[in-house]
Amino acid sequence: MGRPRKITSVKQLEEAWEAYKYDCDNQLVLTHDFSAKNSEFVSKELKRSVTYTVEGFCVFIGLARSKFYETYADDKRYRDTVTRMREECELDARKKFELQVIPSQLAGLWMSNYGYTTKTDTNVTGGVPVVIHDDLPPDDE
């Protein structure tokens, strides 16, 4: 028999997810800047946010990601909640790009986690001629 589940109900999973999102949205960061006016360095604690991820949630609750998916994503009782968590992660990343919280240069990297790809144009050049033949019979036959 395996170990008992870390999370034993859908409600408990949802509460843990909300606590994780609150933690992500309320990270305190100590910043330092030089004040030319006072000729000294000034430090200030600012509230910042980090992007939601299922991986981050697993670290937050102390559970391996593989174990989380095996235990909860494959269990039909938790499936809707796990799907909503993934969707909220995607939405959070998209919002942070649109609000320029995350630099746009990282969009391809982040959004590839959710199935998005960057558009690539392919131009074929070279000396090979392309011949198109109309070998279909006319419509009136």
Q: How much is the pLDDT for 121?
A: 60
Answer whether residue 83 is part of any domain. yes
Report the alpha-carbon distance of residue 69 to residue 54 in Å, rounded. Answer: 10
Q: How much is the pLDDT for 111?
A: 67
How many domains would you assign to the chain? 1
Contact predicate 35/3, CB 8 Å: no
Q: Please list, in sequence order, all residues whose beta carbon lies within 8 angstroms of the beta carbon of residue 45, skipping any fewer than 6 positions away.
A: 28, 29, 30, 31
Host domain of residue 97: 10-114
Tens of pLDDT along the chain (141 residues)?
567 888 999 999 999 999 999 999 998 887 777 777 777 887 788 888 888 999 999 999 999 999 999 999 989 999 999 999 999 998 998 888 888 887 777 767 666 766 666 666 666 666 667 677 677 777 765
Q: How much is the pLDDT for 2?
A: 65
List the CATH number of the domain containing 89. 1.10.132.80
Answer whether residue 134 is part of any domain. no
Answer whether residue 40 is part of any domain. yes
Q: How much is the pLDDT for 100?
A: 83
The two tokens of residue 129 are 């001629």
